[in-house]
Structure 1
């Protein structure tokens, strides 16, 4: 890639979500109160990834869509993490999500709102020439056709960027259509599924597939062949909500620092371990 700037740049494309994170302090009691810790924060997988990457020193720009009234609030929150923003505006509410945490597991109730109106067709290869790495959240794909997604990946690669994709969630992959999803992401540079998503997608859709297995570690495949497993330390998780996003942010930030993939994965693991020890999916300010 030939870029004008000396420092590698990262573009993250995806959802902006207002997260409400609920951690019950006791077993949930039906039809009555359950004592809980509840935190509200700006989230969305891509937003979290951008924030973690910037917290590690990467030059990060985020593209997303929010309600018109939330433009200033969201811009300021991203700026607090040193993330630059290109926000499209909508009359729909900014996306929102309730996360119910149960140990290492979580259930998510989602209203994507304004995120559905993100116009990715306006992003062409000339725009992408400003960036070395383009990270796309799979949540961005839903409600779009395969050609639109393939065009986005092509334009980014044609602009000289390496394309990384996090599939989003197994549920959304099934809703999108498994074969359509595979067709859409085929030929991306790095795919970062979790174990459940990997069981659906396999290891042959990208040059490199990095599988996030939680406490079981991280598996790396190159063109379908398993190359290595990276172990992780067992720690007591307070909130696992942003572990995968923190891992991805650490990985892309390290790649942007011109470090090898092995180093990027290790930094991703360390960043994820840090993330799960606090409530919320973003770095602590």
Structure 2
């Protein structure tokens, strides 16, 4: 594996986020006045690709967009963020993925319309297998068809390529995926919804616990919680994506798991201090500076 600039391939969703900020979320059948509305690049796959690129990795994206204005804008944006988009192709008969996001009381609610993300099929990914073969780490999520996730995890397992599965949004996972994946990164709610056997898959589980930190299994088979960092929260959208990308980058640099999680926690803490899924994603220098200041403060 590359030590300073690992090659990360992200296979997943590319969306346009349509974000409405409101004082409170309306009840069923109720209308409330929002404070502001914005459109911005998103999708868990694209978010993770951008986050990894900002942290210094060589990043390749495999995904689909619609042949529409959103698709063109998103592909151009990924290029500007230093993400290689050779694996991103337009679909003529489907729209670009859209996420409708409500921000209220420092939390978010999200509805995703998959669109072209449903065209990230096993056959499509196989056409871009040469990209995967060069990877130090692969990241995949569940905003693309589950059969594609199974195909990707199985392929990486056969090739000996480490792969992180961020199981969001939560979806039942067949044993073939759980057995093939290297790391599984649910939050507490996703872990409970997935009903993952924590004994069988304990070595693979890295569970994000919000403000409490991250739980993982040490080499000594002891569950340890790495505390998170207390910061002023502006917007939690994209924090999980930043965590997963940073974890992949740190592991790609051959960091030990504890150090990799601390790095990922710091990246996520920085990300929530600004608006938008990608707006606050930090650079490697910013994460290192944050960690250094926290160490000196302790």
User: Which bracket does the TM-score occupy, shorter chain normalised?
Assistant: 0.7 to 0.9
Q: How many residues align?
A: 272
Structure 2 residue aligned with 1:117: 119
Distance 1:28 1:196 in 2: 23
Q: For residues 143-180 of structure 1, what are the alpha-carbon distances to aligned partners after superposition, in whole Å with 9 as ceiling and x for unaligned?
A: x3xxx54332121233331011000123xx1xxxx3x4
Is residue 2:43 matched to residue 1:44?
yes
- The TM-score, its normalising length taken from structure 2, stands at 0.81
Structure 2 residue aligned with 1:67: 66
Decide whether aligned partners of structure 1 residues 45 and 224 sit closer, same or farther in structure 2, where only a CA change above 3 A counts.
farther
Alignment of 1:251-262 (within 5 A): 251-262=247-258
Decide whether aligned partners of structure 1 residues 206 and 19 sit closer, same or farther in structure 2, where only a CA change above 3 A counts.
farther
Aligned-pair distance for 1:224? 12
- The TM-score, its normalising length taken from structure 1, stands at 0.85
Is residue 2:90 matched to residue 1:89?
yes
Distance 1:113 1:102 in 2: 26
Contact preservation (8 Å) 2:24, 2:105: no
Moved over 6 A (4+): none
Decide whether aligned partners of structure 1 residues 182 and 243 sit closer, same or farther in structure 2, where only a CA change above 3 A counts.
farther
Structure 1: 5+ residue stretches without partners: none
Contact preservation (8 Å) 2:6, 2:249: no
Structure 2 residue aligned with 1:9: 7
Distance 2:149 2:51 in 1: 25
Distance 2:94 2:75 in 1: 17
Alignment RMSD = 2.7
Distance 2:6 2:252 in 1: 5
Contact preservation (8 Å) 2:25, 2:104: no
Is residue 2:189 matched to residue 1:196?
yes
Aligned-pair distance for 1:139? 2.0
